[in-house]
Amino acid sequence: MLDKNFDVQSIAIQANPAKVFDFIAEPTNVPKWAKGFSEVNGQTALMETPQGKMKIGMQMQVNKALGTIDTIMTMPDGSIGKAFSRVTENDGGQAAIFSFVLMAPPVPLEELEGTLEQQKVQLAEELQILKGILENNN
């Protein structure tokens, strides 16, 4: 087993926390900022992979009171991928912090380390895209 099979990243967003939460919690907004997804609805998504597009089950478990947005992805082979995130108020409620826990994808062990490293870089880029969208649409 890897010493670390997860990555935690966060970003400050200068926008109303409720607005940030609502945008991120809406499944159809995911492709606007997450490069790995397209054609997302409330039940399924097309995931962009090195082998091409892959249809997956995608369920978002949202709790606005706690600020949590958890994503459960069911792969075609039945394996489960998970991502956990939270929107936290910052600066007296005038801004938000978006934190994202990236879990290792459900791939064979020999692919895990390289895949997680690639996903960490992609997530950092995606958080910058998300920040740009939310800060420029105030």
Instruction: Give the domain ranges of the chain.
Output: 6-136
Contact between 124 and 11 (Cβ < 8 Å): no
> Looking at the domain that runs over 6-136, which CATH code has it been given?
3.30.530.20
pLDDT of residue 7: 87
Contact between 133 and 33 (Cβ < 8 Å): yes
Residue 118: how many CA atoms within 13 Å on its side-chain side?
10
pTM of the model: 0.88
Identify residue 70 by its one-letter amino acid code.
D
pLDDT of residue 118: 82
pLDDT of residue 138: 56
- Round to whole Å and give the CA distance between 93 and 130: 19
Mean pLDDT by 10 residues, the chain (138 residues): 76 97 97 91 86 90 97 90 95 95 70 68 95 89
pLDDT of residue 112: 45
